[in-house]
């Protein structure tokens, strides 16, 4: 297997990883990424195939990874109940119960909430240059997730603080301070949810937490720990990706001076898909091999972890003509930005709906909006997100 040496913390790579992806895809497309000490797949065909291959999964095989140290005890306990980290049969049971509560009807019913929160946020935007990320991109999804779960919107600041600390665990080069902060945030979030779930048991409402409590499949219910783990997953995965998708999208639309016609009701869905493909928020998702697997002359051994490079697959010229060009009128083709297979993102419809509402509303409210400074991406790989997005209204 050919090797790749590319620090995920190299400033040039962080600002533009796509050039390195293109070279790795041409040289590989499966290469041993030395900096991560694992193979990585950079082409769309391999990524799509492995996302759906049941010989691989998210659950860590015994002995494949050292156990979490004691200072991450709360984090490890929570992660052990996250369906993102589980495989059948437990994943099947958990996802089935969650989907009974997280229905397309419930998501569609959030449209008025998204429109209401969007209007409130737009009305409160400053008239001088400001950072759009905290003022708009962050606030919308976290307030919608709060409404979805049934948690008071006044908790938004705490939800953000906990979520940001926990999600930092997935970034390259994490420190002991990051781990301690994540563990503390997990403990605080779990304590809050444990007491809040008990309130909902005694006072049911029309919200997701109440629905998760009631969700039953074949007589089985979510355990308290599973319910809490699911709520944390929905917040962390649901809001984090949408924040960065929205920031990256606004940057892209402004830099390309995209015509407002691309945001019209009959075009916005296709434009959002192209924005997600062109500059997605999550660039890497890993899987473990549960048996030996041959990958185009490369052998993946049982217990090996492999990185599926979602950001690279989205720029594969074998699938997308002129993939490095942003084209809101590009014919629709499948992408893997939301993953695939058993672990396809349950929140994808909600994320899409938020973007389809928030982007046209923003550009309609600020038709003369420009970039106040050149945007830069944060040192947070494998998340691809902006440090800030300074806007001149």
DSSP state letters, 326-373: --TTPPP----TT--GGG--TTHHHHHHHHHHHHHHHHHH-TT-EESS
In this prediction, residue 354 has a pLDDT band, given cuts at 50, 70 and 90, of very high
206 Cα distance to chain centroid: 26
> Mean pLDDT over residues 155-165, rounded?
93
In this prediction, residue 65 has a pLDDT band, given cuts at 50, 70 and 90, of confident
> Mean pLDDT over residues 340-348, rounded?
93
Q: Against a cut of 0.75, is the pTM above it?
A: yes
Residue % of the chain over a pLDDT of 90: 86
In angstroms, the Cα distances linking 171 to 182, 185, 192, 365, 380 are 12, 16, 25, 34, 5
Residue % of the chain over a pLDDT of 70: 99
Task: Determine the Cα–Cα distance for residues 230 and 239; give it in Å rounded to an integer.
Answer: 14
Which pLDDT belongs to residue 102? 82
Give residue limits of the domains in the chain: 3-392
Which pLDDT belongs to residue 282? 96
User: Mind listing the pLDDT tens digit for each residue in 262-305?
Assistant: 999 999 999 999 999 999 999 999 999 999 999 878 899 999 99
- Which of the residue ranges 7-21, 312-326, 337-351 would you say has the lowest mean pLDDT? 337-351
Which pLDDT belongs to residue 217? 67
CB of 363 within 8 A of CB of 369? yes
Which pLDDT belongs to residue 63? 84
The token pair at 303 is 């217990």
In this prediction, residue 240 has a pLDDT band, given cuts at 50, 70 and 90, of confident
The token pair at 118 is 């969007």
> Mean pLDDT over residues 240-262, rounded?
96
Which pLDDT belongs to residue 266? 96
User: Mind listing the pLDDT tens digit for each residue in 376-393?
Assistant: 999 999 999 999 999 999
Q: Which CATH class is domain 3-392?
A: mainly alpha
Mean pLDDT score across all residues of the chain: 94
Which pLDDT belongs to residue 237? 82
User: Mind listing the pLDDT tens digit for each residue in 79-110?
Assistant: 999 999 999 999 999 999 888 888 889 999 99
Which pLDDT belongs to residue 157? 92
> Mean pLDDT over residues 131-139, rounded?
97
> Mean pLDDT over residues 159-172, rounded?
93
Residue 245, pLDDT > 90, answer yes
Which pLDDT belongs to residue 32? 96
CB of 271 within 8 A of CB of 328? yes
Residue 328 CB partners (closer than 8 Å, separation 6+): 258, 262, 267, 270, 271, 274, 275
In this prediction, residue 6 has a pLDDT band, given cuts at 50, 70 and 90, of very high
In angstroms, the Cα distances linking 205 to 71, 149, 340 are 36, 10, 32
Q: 35 or 240: whose pLDDT is higher?
A: 35
């Amino acid at each position: 297997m050919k090797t790749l040496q590319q620090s995920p913390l190299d400033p040039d790579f962080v600002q533009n990883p796509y050039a390195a992806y293109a070279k790795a895809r041409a040289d590989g497309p499966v290469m041993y990424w030395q900096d991560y000490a694992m193979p990585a797949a950079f082409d769309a065909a391999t990524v799509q195939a492995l996302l759906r291959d049941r010989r691989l999964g998210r659950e860590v095989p015994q002995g494949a990874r050292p156990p979490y140290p004691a200072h991450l005890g709360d984090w490890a306990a929570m992660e052990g109940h996250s369906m993102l980290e589980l495989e059948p049969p437990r994943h099947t049971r958990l996802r089935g119960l969650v989907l009974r509560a997280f229905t397309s009807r419930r998501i569609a019913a959030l449209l008025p909430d998204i429109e209401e929160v969007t209007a409130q946020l737009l009305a409160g935007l400053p008239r001088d240059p400001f950072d759009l990320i905290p003022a708009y991109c962050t606030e919308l999804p976290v307030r919608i997730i709060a409404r979805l779960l049934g948690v008071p919107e006044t908790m938004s600041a705490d939800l953000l603080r906990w979520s940001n600390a926990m999600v930092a665990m997935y970034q390259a080069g994490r420190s002991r301070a990051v781990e301690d902060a994540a563990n503390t945030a997990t403990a605080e979030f779990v304590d809050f949810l444990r007491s809040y779930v008990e309130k909902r048991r005694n006072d049911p409402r029309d919200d997701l937490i109440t629905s998760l409590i009631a969700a039953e499949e074949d007589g089985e219910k979510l355990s308290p720990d599973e319910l809490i783990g699911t709520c944390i997953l929905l917040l962390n995965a649901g809001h984090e990706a949408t924040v960065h998708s929205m920031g990256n999208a606004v940057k892209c639309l402004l830099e390309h001076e995209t015509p407002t016609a691309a945001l019209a009701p009959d075009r916005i869905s296709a434009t959002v898909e192209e924005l997600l493909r062109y500059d997605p928020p999550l660039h890497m998702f890993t899987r473990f091999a549960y048996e030996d697997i041959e990958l185009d002359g490369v052998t993946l051994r049982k217990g090996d972890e492999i990185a599926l490079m979602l950001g690279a697959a989205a720029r594969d010229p074998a699938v997308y003509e002129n993939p490095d060009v942003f084209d809101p009128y590009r014919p629709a083709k499948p992408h893997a930005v939301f993953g695939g297979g058993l672990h396809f993102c349950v929140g994808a419809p909600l994320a899409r709906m938020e973007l389809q509402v928030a982007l046209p509303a923003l550009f309609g409210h600020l038709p003369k909006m420009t970039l106040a400074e050149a945007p830069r991406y944060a040192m947070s790989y494998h998340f691809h997100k902006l440090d800030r997005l300074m806007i001149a209204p």
